[in-house]
Amino acid sequence: MQVDSPDMIRNVALTGHSGTGKTTLASALLYAGGVVNRLNKVEDGNTITDFDSEEIERRISIGLAVCFTPWRQHKNNLLDCPGYGIFFDETRSAMRAADAALLCINAASGVEVTSEKVWEFAAELGLPVMLHLSKMDRERAELKSAVEQLQKSFGRQVIPIQIPIGTSQDFEGVIDLINDKATVYTKDGDGKGKPTEIPEAAQDEFNQWKTALVEAVAETDDALLEKFFEAGELSAEELAEGLRRAVKERKLFPVTLSSALHGIGPASTLDAIVETLPSPIDRGTFPAIDFGGEELEVACDPDGKVVALVFKTLSDPFTGKVSLLRVVSGRLDSDTLYWNFRQEKDEKVGHLMVMQGKTGSAVSGLVTGDIGGVAKLKNAHTGDTLCEKANPVHLTWIAPREDAIAFAIEPKSKGDEEKIGESLTRLREEDPRLHSRRDAETGEFLLAGSGQLHVEIAVAKLKKRFNVEVILHPPKVPYRETIRKSASGHGRHKKQTGGRGQFADCRITMEPTSGDEQFEFIDEIFGGSIPQGYRPAVEKGIHEAAKRGYLAGYPVVGFKVRLQDGQFHDVDSSEMAFKIAGSLAFKDAMGKAGATLLEPIMKVEITTTEEFMGDIMSDLSQRRGRPQGMDSKDGSQVVSATVPLAEMLDYSPALRSMTQGRSSFHMEMYHYEEVPRQVQEKIIAEAQKKKEQDHA
Residue 84 has what pLDDT?
A: 86
Provide the pLDDT for residue 372: 97
- φ, ψ dihedrals at 375, nearest 5°: -90, 150
What are the pLDDT digits (tens) for 259-279? Answer: 999 999 999 999 999 999 999
Confidence at residue 517, expressed as pLDDT on a 0 to 100 scale: 66
Predicted TM-score (pTM) of this structure: 0.79
Residue 276 is predicted with a pLDDT of: 98
Please state the φ and ψ torsions of residue 203, each to the nearest 5 degrees. -65, -45
Tell me the CA distances in angstroms from 663 to 168, 652, 653, one per residue in order: 33, 10, 11
Stretch 535-547: mean pLDDT, rounded?
Answer: 95
pLDDT at 634: 63
d(CA 563, CA 540): 12
Q: How far is CA 436 from the centre of its chain?
A: 15
| Residue range 437-467, pLDDT digits in tens | 887 777 788 898 887 788 889 999 988 888 8
Confidence of residue 31 (pLDDT cuts 50, 70, 90): very high
Number of H helices, E strands in the chain: 17, 37
Over residues 559-581, the mean pLDDT reads 94
Closest alpha carbon to 466 in 427, 413, 414, 412: 427
- pLDDT tens profile 192-225: 999 999 999 999 999 999 999 999 999 999 999 9
pLDDT score recorded for residue 156? 95
Q: How far apart are CA 632 and CA 500, in angstroms?
A: 75
Looking at the predicted structure, is the pLDDT value of residue 543 above 70?
yes
Q: Write the CA distances from 85 to 63, 400, 452, integer angstroms.
A: 12, 14, 12
pLDDT of res. 94: 97
Given a cut of 70, whether residue 80 has pLDDT beyond it is: yes
Q: What is the pLDDT of residue 617?
A: 95
For the chain, the average pLDDT equals: 92
- pLDDT tens digit sequence for 313-349: 998 766 688 999 999 999 999 999 999 999 999 999 9
User: 11 and 369 in contact (C-beta within 8 Å)?
Assistant: yes
Q: If you average pLDDT over each of 70-74, 395-399, 650-654, which comes out highest? A: 70-74
Give the pLDDT mean for 578-584: 97
pLDDT of residue 670: 85
**pLDDT of 253 higher than 80:** yes
pLDDT at 42: 85
pLDDT in tens, 664-680: 887 878 889 999 999 99
Residue 696 has pLDDT above 70, yes or no: no
Q: Are strands 596-608 and 636-644 parallel, antiparallel or unpaired?
A: antiparallel
The predicted pLDDT at position 516 comes to 64
Q: Concatenated DSSP letters for 302-356? A: TTS--EEEEEEEEEETTTEEEEEEEEEES-EESSEEEEETTTTEEEEE--EEEEE
What's the pLDDT score for residue 518?
66
Which domains can be identified in the chain, with CATH numbers? 6-283 (3.40.50.300), 285-395 (2.40.30.10), 405-457 (3.30.70.870), 480-594 (3.30.230.10), 597-678 (3.30.70.240)
pLDDT in tens, 356-403: 999 999 999 999 999 999 998 989 999 999 999 999 999 999 987 777
What phi, psi does 66 have (nearest 5°)? -115, 140
φ/ψ of 69, rounded to 5, equals: -140, 135
pLDDT of residue 225: 93
**Single-letter residue type at 291:** F
Distance CA 242, CA 224 (A): 8
> Average of pLDDT values for 30-34?
95
Of 561 and 496, the structure prediction assigns the larger pLDDT to 561
